[in-house]
């Protein structure tokens, strides 16, 4: 990835009750804006609403999902590029993914679960629903903070109506031996916002404006927020790669 940076990704505390108009809300809103305008990435500590126990259940469900036979996983098809099931390819042999479009509509999660397990799988269904609801909650909170910081919170309802909460589940296979291999090529996200629930194995790196890279290894009960190109363009800022 190039030289390693001594700088770190900002860590912001979203735990507990956050009420608009309070001093804590105002301070956190300013911190979010600074993180968006700076690196375009930060760690959101959200352990009271997205505890480590939920993350463990979620990652257990992901392992069960990706352990399914290939022919089962390939049932999740989509005409949209990078939606549906994405099998490992020559340029990304360690990367595998599958996704649920419009995951804010909980019936879509049920349809996905029934596609993977025709006999039903209530535990998987409820775990993914709970995790998705929490992640969407964080997304909405951050969006209103950013809009409020620019004095354009009146557009929040319009953005909500046009937002597709695309839920992507990813697996990176560990490379063999001591070789260091990229899971994906360097890139910036094209969407509004990406919220990553990453296991403790790590692997994510972000690039600072000076060209250096820094690993992002979140603590339990936290999420990694990366601001996409669309949001950056609307705020007039630039971000690094991930």
Residue 235 has pLDDT above 90, yes or no: no
pLDDT at 85: 96
Q: CA 4, 192, 154 angle in degrees (round to 5)?
A: 130
pLDDT at 238: 43
109-155: per-residue pLDDT in tens?
A: 999 999 999 999 999 999 999 999 999 999 999 999 999 999 999 99
Task: Report CA torsion sign: 160, 84, 93, 131.
Answer: positive
Residue 237 has pLDDT above 80, yes or no: no
pLDDT at 6: 53
Does domain 11-235 sit in CATH 2.60.120.330? yes
pLDDT at 65: 98
Residue 230 has pLDDT above 80, yes or no: no
Q: What is the mean pLDDT of residues 53-74?
A: 95
Q: What is the mean pLDDT of residues 165-179?
A: 82
13-56: per-residue pLDDT in tens?
A: 998 889 999 999 999 999 999 998 888 889 999 877 788 888 88
Q: What does the alpha-carbon distance between residue 13 and residue 25 come to, in Å, rounded to a whole number?
A: 11
More confident residue, 36 or 207: 36
25-29, 44-48, 61-65, 218-222: which range is least confident on average?
Answer: 218-222
Residue 183 has pLDDT above 90, yes or no: no
Q: DSSP letter string over the chain?
A: --SBPS----EEE--S---TTSHHHHHHHHHHHHHHHTTSEEEEE-TTTS-HHHHHHHHHHHHHHHTS-HHHHTT---SSTT-S-B--BTTBTTEEEEEETTTTSHHHHHHHHHHH-TT--HHHHHHHHHHHHHHHHHHHHHHHHHHHHTT-GGGHHHHHHH----EEEEEEPPPSTT----SS-S----SSEEEE---TT---EEE-TTS-EEE--PPTTEEEEEE-HHHHHHHT------
More confident residue, 82 or 229: 82
76-111: per-residue pLDDT in tens?
A: 998 887 789 999 888 888 889 999 999 999 999 999
């Amino acid at each position: 990835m190039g030289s390693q940076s001594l700088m770190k990704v900002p860590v912001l505390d979203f735990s507990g009750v956050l009420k608009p108009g309070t001093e804590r809300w105002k301070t956190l809103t300013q911190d979010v804006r600074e993180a968006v305008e700076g690196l375009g990435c930060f760690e959101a500590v959200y352990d009271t609403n997205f505890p480590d126990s939920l993350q463990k259940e979620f990652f257990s469900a992901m392992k069960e999902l990706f352990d399914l036979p290939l022919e089962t996983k390939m049932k999740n098809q989509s005409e949209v590029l990078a939606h549906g099931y994405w099998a490992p390819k020559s340029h990304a042999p360690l990367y595998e993914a599958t996704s649920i479009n419009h995951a804010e509509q909980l019936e879509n999660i049920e349809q996905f679960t029934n596609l993977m397990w025709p006999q039903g799988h209530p535990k998987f269904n409820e775990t993914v629903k709970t995790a998705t609801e929490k992640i969407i909650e964080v997304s909405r909170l951050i969006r209103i903070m950013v809009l409020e910081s620019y004095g354009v919170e009146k557009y929040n309802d319009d953005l909500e109506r046009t937002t597709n909460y695309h839920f992507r589940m990813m697996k990176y296979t560990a490379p063999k031996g001591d070789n260091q291999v990229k899971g994906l090529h360097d890139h910036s996200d094209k969407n509004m916002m990406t919220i990553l629930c990453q296991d403790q194995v790590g692997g994510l790196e972000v690039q600072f404006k000076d060209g250096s890279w820094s690993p992002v290894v979140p603590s339990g009960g936290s999420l990694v927020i990366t601001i996409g190109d669309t949001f950056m363009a609307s705020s007039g800022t630039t971000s690094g790669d991930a």
